[in-house]
Amino acid sequence: MRRIVAQGTFDLLHLGHLQYLSDAKSMGDRLYVIVARSENVTHKAEPVVPDRQRRAMVAALDPVDEARLGDTDDFFVPIRDIDPDVIVLGHDQHHDEDRLAERLTAERIDCEIVRAPPREPEYDEEILSTGRIIDRICDRRC
């Protein structure tokens, strides 16, 4: 059985998230998704949706076999537990693939790292960014 890990914040789910998870699932038999805890999201604005709710929404998506929250102190706790064959990064995630590979080697986790392709919008109004969804809400409702 080929175990795949995808990870992210998954705040305000959109078609880009679904495409990423569908692409990740296509690379193996079982897709595990690690949902970042709000307190660990430091590279962008704090998520709007609470941790457990984001995890539940991701778990409900068809490509996902298991969704869990990340560890508050150690990024590698769920990775060690899952022992993936592949970690699939989103096309726009901030992770440095070489640095991640070094850390995985140091943790004695032998897995491939793949970057998922971006989703191309299928129509003019398709929004593939949580930030753009929030901007549109503010423009139309605030």
Interatomic CA distance for residues 52 and 7, integer angstroms: 15
Is 16 within any annotated ligand binding site?
yes
Is 17 within any annotated ligand binding site?
yes
Is 75 within any annotated ligand binding site?
no
Is 15 within any annotated ligand binding site?
yes
Is 9 within any annotated ligand binding site?
yes
- Among candidate residues 77, 35, 39, the one with its CA nearest the CA of residue 57: 35
Residues 6 or more apart whose CB falls under 8 angstroms from that of 140 comprise none
Annotated binding-site residue numbers for ATP: 9-10, 14-17, 92
Annotated binding-site residue numbers: 9-10, 14-17, 92
